Amino acid sequence: MWLYLLALVGLWNLLRLLRERKVVSHLQDKYVFITGCDSGFGNLLARQLDRRGMRVLAACLTEKGAEQLRSKTSDRLETVILDVTKTESIVAATQWVKERVGNRGLWGLVNNAGISVPLGPNEWMRKKDFASVLDVNLLGVIEVTLNMLPLVRKARGRVVNTASTMGRMSLIGGGYCISKYGVEAFSDSLRRELTYFGVKVAIIEPGGFKTNITNMERLSDNLKKLWDQTTEEVKEIYGEKFQDSYMKAMESLVNTCSGDLSLVTDCMEHALTSCHPRTRYSPGWDAKFFYLPMSYLPTFLSDAVIYWGSVKPARAL
């Protein structure tokens, strides 16, 4: 019985592999717009797709980032300055893309731009701390998508949204996990709506990777600022040692992150170039064997695991 079951599972995986290996034709004629190309996943993906011969339209936050990217790529790749928190910047970038793609439309839209801080205990934060992250990671994704959608629909193309395993299971306070849960929900509804137009939507849910988001200096400065803005009552409840303990726990978590960003960009590339892309990609062993399985556990079990490994306030029960 078990042998038949294993054979069936193996056959299913083989058929899926063969199906997913079929590549879209005429890639050299297809335009892909990527946000957040100054560094990290966006930067590597832009260079990766450029080497493959695709027409890359890379959006960077700074001119310095754009210049550095252009110096490492072919003349096909073009850059534009984009701040996803500003409507006028998004509208201008959309017009810029429209002028380049013409009647062909935009084959791929990759929403990759994102930030992580402010990040820390929820009680240490104010509304503006949550809003600053949501503006980039969620509202930025939504507004860029809504503006680019007519171009993507014209090409019957792809939308690839970068979420996170933290969009399945929230381990930390602040706007980051909230924003990634929102990206998951937005992508799901978008995928169902755009099916009627032949547009495919994929969600990338990376585990832990070493990018600017996991920069320890930035995370440490962020936690100190949050501590300084809390009330004396909150400081007394959490205790002076909590900040150091929390930072050490975060550093231990960051040290387990993978430095191989290609695990993520390969998934993004597959979502853009495969005839049959997946709905969700979960790059990283921690994503596959810890975060995603944990997200399916009964709540009391996942809560117990997190509580056991968490840093406790001084006046915790």
pLDDT digits (tens, 9 = 90+) for 121-135: 999 999 999 999 999
What pLDDT sits at residue 148?
A: 98
176 catalytic per annotation: yes
Q: How far apart are the C-alpha atoms of 95 and 148, rounded to whole Å?
A: 9
Please tell me the pTM assigned to this model: 0.92
Per-residue pLDDT tens for 181-238?
Answer: 999 999 999 999 999 999 999 999 999 999 988 888 889 999 999 999 999 999 999 9
> What are the residues facing 158 on neighbouring strands?
108, 200
Q: How many residues does the chain have?
A: 317
Mean pLDDT to the nearest integer, 97-108:
96
Using the predicted structure, report yes or no on whether residue 71 has a pLDDT greater than 80: yes
pLDDT tens-digit profile of 245-297? 998 888 888 889 999 999 999 999 999 999 999 999 999 999 999 999 999 99
Q: Are 122 and 68 in contact (CB under 8 A)?
A: no
Which pLDDT value is given to residue 58? Answer: 98
Sequence-separated (6 or more) residues with CB below 8 Å from residue 168: 184, 205, 291, 292, 295
- Treating both helix axes as pointing N-terminal to C-terminal, what angle do 40-51 and 63-70 enclose, rounded to 10 degrees? 30
- Give the mean pLDDT of 237-244: 89
pLDDT of residue 108: 98
Longest Cα pair distance anywhere in the chain, in angstroms? Answer: 64
pLDDT of residue 13: 67
Average pLDDT over residues 84-99: 98
Structural domains in the chain plus CATH codes:
20-309 (3.40.50.720)
From the list 4, 31, 176, 291, the catalytic residue is: 176
* pLDDT of res. 311: 82
Q: Which residue has the tokens 């970038």?
A: 93
Torsion region of 156: left, alpha or beta (phi above 0 gives left; psi -120 to 50 gives alpha): left
Q: Alpha helices of 126-212 — where are they, by DSSP H?
A: 127-134, 140-155, 175-194
- Say if CB 173 and CB 121 are below 8 A apart: yes
DSSP code at position 165: G
Residue 3 has pLDDT above 90, yes or no: no
Identify which has the larger pLDDT, 278 or 16: 278
Share of the chain above pLDDT 90, in %: 79
Instruction: Tell me the residue type at 34.
Output: I
Flag whether pLDDT at 308 surpasses 90: no
- pLDDT recorded at residue 165: 94
